[in-house]
Chains A and B, each alone.
Chain A
Amino acid sequence: MENSKQIKLSKAILEMKFMKRTKEKVEKEKEDAEGQAMYSGEITEEMRRTGNLVFISTSIVNCKNLIDGRLSFGGMNPEIEKLMANDYGIQLGEEEKRKEKDITDVEMAEGYSTVVNTVEKKFSKSNKHKFKNKKFMKPVDGPLM
């Protein structure tokens, strides 16, 4: 079995009847090597051309979060209104909730962080002040008692 890598079998041996399987194996290896050599140039070319970003195209419906267009109001088509309760009703509820929150979570977090920063600054400043005030006072040299 260790023939394939180390020793190259001669053509004459491979032609022998009992070497049929080995011959197939050797031929396959040879083909693979050839194929790789042939396509390696192309692969790099392709790699050079395609970027590392994948673009998926989508419809405006997904971009703008549009709703289903089949609607019914005022009991005109009870069947549709039943179906609408599953999506339109939920979307409407979410929308109202979003409106009620006049400050979004992100804004809240940002505001909170700035408050934290200012308070922090205040403390750091006041600490410095304290240290400034607490200067080491040299004792006045005077006649000892």
Chain B
Amino acid sequence: MPLKVGDFVLPGELIEDIKSIKGLTIVGPGLRQNEEKPNILCVTQPGTLRFKAPNMYWIEGKRKRYIPKKGDLVVGIVVKKSGDTLKVDIGAAEFASLSMLAFEGATKKQKPDVQVGDCVYAKLLNAHREMEPELVCIDSYYKAGKLGILPNQGFLLTISLNLTQSLLDIENPLLRSIGKKIPYEMALGVNGKVWINCKKSKEVIYLMKIFDVAERELHKDAVTVCND
């Protein structure tokens, strides 16, 4: 039975008749090319099969562990400083490396002031299965933009990847509506780490509670399905 878009799929299942443009198909997380029959995709994680016109496939599951992917914007904690490189915990299987020279305006002589324990908002420069992920805090024009070291005052918490993705969806009005009540700034990494900064610590706790409730709301449908 051929799999349809929106079906629940399990690892090992095959997706045939792939749509493509000029022989090109974009594949998101949870899928990989089948080795035996190269025109077929193989599922590697359980979840719902999603498709976006014209040629994009991916799996939406309840994955807990973040898998680094090139181009992702993540929040990380500096855990080690050795020479010119920093080791950053981004919640992946391995620490990511961040060069001291990959900050805006950094030179060999003038390095940024980073301490162990600092939070950084950085972009993944490359991420392969066999290599340690590499971060940068500048874009291709050597400008920092929104990237860089996050201020020391602030609070870091970890939320689920599903909640992160739903919060980062522009259709989700939660972040904007909180902003109307409480002035706050945040760095929401795709890896599930969130750095929040408010004027009062009471407001930080308030935000944390909101995320907690939002997380439970996300799982509500799963609970109701199980009860039925």
Contact = CB atoms under 8 A, between A and B. Distances in A.
B70 interface: yes
A69 B170 contact: no
A139 B220 CA distance: 81
A10 B40 CA distance: 54
A63 B37 contact: no
Interface residues of A, number: 34
Interface string A43-78: 000000111111111111111111111111111110
B176 interface: yes
B contact residues, range: 35 or more
A57 B28 contact: yes
A73 B183 CA distance: 5
Interface in A108-127: none
Contact of B39 (A53, A59, A75, A83): A53
A71 B27 contact: no
Contacts of B165: 60, 64, 66
Contact of B28 (A58, A73, A75): A58
A69 B176 CA distance: 13
Contacts of B80: none
B89 to A, nearest CB: 17
A91 B171 CA distance: 10
B208 interface: no
A61 B170 CA distance: 12
| Centre residue among A64, A70, A77 by max chain B CB count within 10 A | A70
Interface in B160-209: 164-165, 168-171, 175-176, 178-180, 182-190, 197-199
A80 interface: yes
Interface of A: 49-77, 80, 83, 91-92, 95
14 contacts: A51-B37, A51-B39, A53-B20, A53-B38, A56-B24, A57-B69, A60-B69, A63-B29, A65-B169, A66-B169, A67-B169, A67-B170, A69-B190, A74-B179
